[in-house]
Structure 1
Amino acid sequence: MIYLDSAATVPMRKEAIDAYVETANNAFGNTQSLHDAGSLAADYLASCKKLWGQFLNVRQDGIYFTGNASEANQLAIRSLLKGRPEHYRSIVSTQLEHASVLSVLHELEREGYEITYVPVDCFGRVDLDAYERLVDEETALVVMQLVNSEMGAVQPVEQCTKIALQFGVPLHSDIVQGFGKLPVDIGLWGVASAVCSAHKVGGPKGVGIAYLDPSVHWESVYEGTTHQNGFRAGTIDVPAIVSATIAAKHAVMEQPESYEHARKLQCYLIEQLPAGVIVTGDIKSKSPFIQGLVLPHVEGQWMMLACNRAQIAISTGTACKIGYGEAMSAMLAMGTESDTAKKFIRISFTKHTSSNELDAFIHVLNENQSTQKNRLPI
């Protein structure tokens, strides 16, 4: 199968699989145990935290591991809010956030928080002037993703963090679609918390990575939890964390080369697309790894099924949102009409994606566009 859905997940790297097997054999102990087997597992965990600190340019004692990035987002947001003064009940975010973030924001709204969404332009970029007007001394938290998972819009997280810090407001950033693909320097940006996902960079599913700045006050969501300084309950999966760390190491090393490859594929795709197909987002500033396309004559679901019949994997939006009625939330936030949003599809690249694979996709696109156009009533 031609796989053009890497924003949803990618295959595990061989190095990550080998690391998992080796660690599962050698460091199977519980990191909380006081005997040598537990100490060995704890040493492996400490090494992983040190490496993630280097990847993100942050203190290693701020690194935590969860069951996935969705859980990491929810825990980080709630942990930071619990550490804020109770009378601060205002949260500033965007409607382009990942489903895991939007769901916790909806929960918080029901709990009495006021959620204000910063407007975005037709390319999905936040309005910085509006953002500046929305953040003040009473803001509890800002939540701002780095890269949108549907059209690849890149938000000015560093600028937004600096504005928030003028008022002493922490900023949480979901950097899942950016880490390993774009240059990321969490320490320089000054965010209070950030979240990565192992399976987006060739690691195992079931590992999320959270960073919480140790200088920022936060409180545990789980009362009485001793694991990971109280951030998350449960025995730590050391083999999966080692596997995730090895995958991340390779992704970071390959990042400049991978980015340039994706940029060339983006240019090639745009040159080959049939007339009438619209590429969403600002080509000059968006992530080249994610291509949101709006079709003139075919609904996204139709095209996805047509591609699947041709053994080509694409999507109609973020996998975590499908089935929850929010797959087009980003498009609607950008001012796209709902009927047009239904014609949205997404393809996404890795360093292994080739122009020949794009040719096969474009052939199916051309075939189905022509068929549907001819069926339209005159």
Structure 2
Amino acid sequence: MDHAATTPVRKEVLDEMMPYFSEYYGNPSSIYYLSNFSKIAIDKARERVAKTINAEKNEIYFTGGGTEADNWAIKGIASKLRDKGNHIITSKIEHHAILHTCEYLEKNGFEVTYLNVDEYGMISLDELERSIKDNTILISIMFANNEIGTIEPIKEIGSIARKHNVIFHTDAVQAVGSLPIDVKDMNIDLLSMSAHKLYGPKGVGALYVRKGIKIDSLIHGGAQEKNKRAGTENVPGIVGLGKAIELAYSELEENTAKLVELRDYMIKNIQNRIPEVRLNGHPTKRLPGNVNICFRYIEGESLLLSLDMYKIEASSGSACTSGSLDPSHVLLAIGLPHEIAHGSLRLSLGIKNTKEEVDFVIDKLVTIVDRLRQMSPLYEKNQEGK
């Protein structure tokens, strides 16, 4: 129940990757026969990735993951366009790969506007347009939020950016493989993705850079990726990303229908069987498998530990901040007070989850929440006041 954190590598993906570990192990930068297998495999993966988002093959650059792609997009544009301006616009609910990169740039002479979001986690298009200044060089808004699942109005954001001649980047790590994406129709200039969120391997991702967009390199060294991203290519990983994204989009309609049905079933039954719960994120414009709920009067950490005893894997937010005791910055941004935000639970469904598993989780949640509330002084005080 934590597929937003990562997904298992599909057998079809692993099978296609395996030959490139030991049989076709040549360095793609070498000129001899063995290396041609690696070059051809990378080229095929680039075509697969490009096709699924309606990009051109030469607009896809492979990276070490979504975080690198995000860093490269923001730092690369900031460096390239520093003479033109130093203002960047993002939102308060971005992944830390975006927020921490922007904070780094703020320490180095850049100005960043962090847009507010409404109670559902949606940015205001009017506020976005009002925030654009003469020195604005980049807008970076995530496609879909990794915690609460809200899908942002990407096409409209892209239109505003294009109208004002500002580059638009979207962190689509949670969206790629789960939502239809057309970079041309949506006016997207740069887009980040990661293989391990769509049943591919960890440690590989990609950055789409629209033809004509100039961007400085993040990693320097060799001439790989058209002199833009140095380092010997992770050939098996790149092959895995290509296969995983092809599978995801060939099955998109079928998988989306299944996940939406399971998601809505889970939300409805949790709300019906457990009092004083709050659904976080947009009720309909949300990722197909995302369920994010706050339970009043209990701590999310206790809830996770109790679920783990039943071998139910879940999270209270982003896996990248699982060591933090602070409430989610996303939940605080949508207006939740600390005491409620602390009781959050994110359940993210995958393509292999079943209705029986969902029922099992709901049953255990009913028992666990009731037990934890009986131990809560806040709950006891609330009951006495009724």
**Same-fold call, TM cutoff 0.5:** yes
CA distance in 2: counterparts of 1:91 and 1:164, whole angstroms = 12
CA distance in 2: counterparts of 1:202 and 1:137, whole angstroms = 42
Give % identity: 28
Q: Does 1:22 align with 2:19?
A: yes
Who is 1:135 aligned against? 132
Q: Does 1:243 align with 2:228?
A: no
**Contact 2:263 2:349 (C-alpha < 8 Å) held by counterparts:** no
How much has 1:22 moved relative to structure 2? 2.2
- Name the stretch that deviates more: 269-278 or 86-95: 269-278
CA distance in 1: counterparts of 2:61 and 2:166, whole angstroms = 22
CA offsets per residue over residues 326-373 of structure 1, 9 Å max, x none?
660111111111111101110001121112111111112111222233
- Name the SS of the counterpart of 1:54 in structure 2: helix
CA distance in 1: counterparts of 2:87 and 2:2, whole angstroms = 36
TM-score by length of 2: 0.93
Q: Does 1:318 align with 2:315?
A: no
**Which residue of 132, 146, 151 corresponds with 1:149?**
146
Who is 1:188 aligned against? 185
Amino acid at match of 2:254: E
**Which residue of 53, 60, 63 corresponds with 2:60?**
63
Distance 1:325 1:34, change over 3 A: farther
Who is 1:48 aligned against? 45
Distance 1:222 1:351, change over 3 A: closer
**Contact 2:178 2:288 (C-alpha < 8 Å) held by counterparts:** no
CA distance in 2: counterparts of 1:201 and 1:87, whole angstroms = 37
Distance 1:247 1:69, change over 3 A: same
Distance 1:321 1:230, change over 3 A: farther
CA distance in 2: counterparts of 1:224 and 1:356, whole angstroms = 51
Who is 2:113 aligned against? 116
Amino acid at match of 1:264: E
Pairs aligned (count): 375
CA distance in 2: counterparts of 1:272 and 1:130, whole angstroms = 36
**Contact 2:76 2:215 (C-alpha < 8 Å) held by counterparts:** yes
Who is 1:202 aligned against? 199
- Name the stretch that deviates more: 112-121 or 360-369: 360-369
**Contact 1:192 1:216 (C-alpha < 8 Å) held by counterparts:** yes
How much has 1:87 moved relative to structure 2? 4.3
Query: What residue ranges of structure 1 are gaps of 5+ in the alignment?
Result: none
CA offsets per residue over residues 59-118 of structure 1, 9 Å max, x none?
111111111111111012212222224240100000111111111111001111111011
Who is 1:333 aligned against? 333
How much has 1:49 moved relative to structure 2? 0.9
Query: What residue ranges of structure 2 are gaps of 5+ in the alignment?
Result: none
- Name the stretch that deviates more: 308-317 or 252-261: 252-261
How much has 1:174 moved relative to structure 2? 0.7
**Contact 1:68 1:197 (C-alpha < 8 Å) held by counterparts:** yes
CA distance in 2: counterparts of 1:220 and 1:267, whole angstroms = 43
CA distance in 2: counterparts of 1:204 and 1:318, whole angstroms = 19
**Contact 1:137 1:169 (C-alpha < 8 Å) held by counterparts:** no
- Name the SS of the counterpart of 2:251 in structure 1: helix
Distance 1:300 1:325, change over 3 A: closer
- Name the SS of the counterpart of 2:320 in structure 1: coil
Distance 1:99 1:367, change over 3 A: same
How much has 1:325 moved relative to structure 2? 5.8
What is the correspondence of 1:267-278 to structure 2 with a 5 Å cutoff?
267-273=264-270, 274-278=274-278
CA distance in 1: counterparts of 2:58 and 2:206, whole angstroms = 13
**Which residue of 83, 88, 108 corresponds with 2:85?**
88
CA distance in 1: counterparts of 2:45 and 2:31, whole angstroms = 20
How much has 1:225 moved relative to structure 2? 4.2
CA distance in 2: counterparts of 1:200 and 1:223, whole angstroms = 27
Distance 1:327 1:256, change over 3 A: farther
CA distance in 2: counterparts of 1:137 and 1:324, whole angstroms = 38
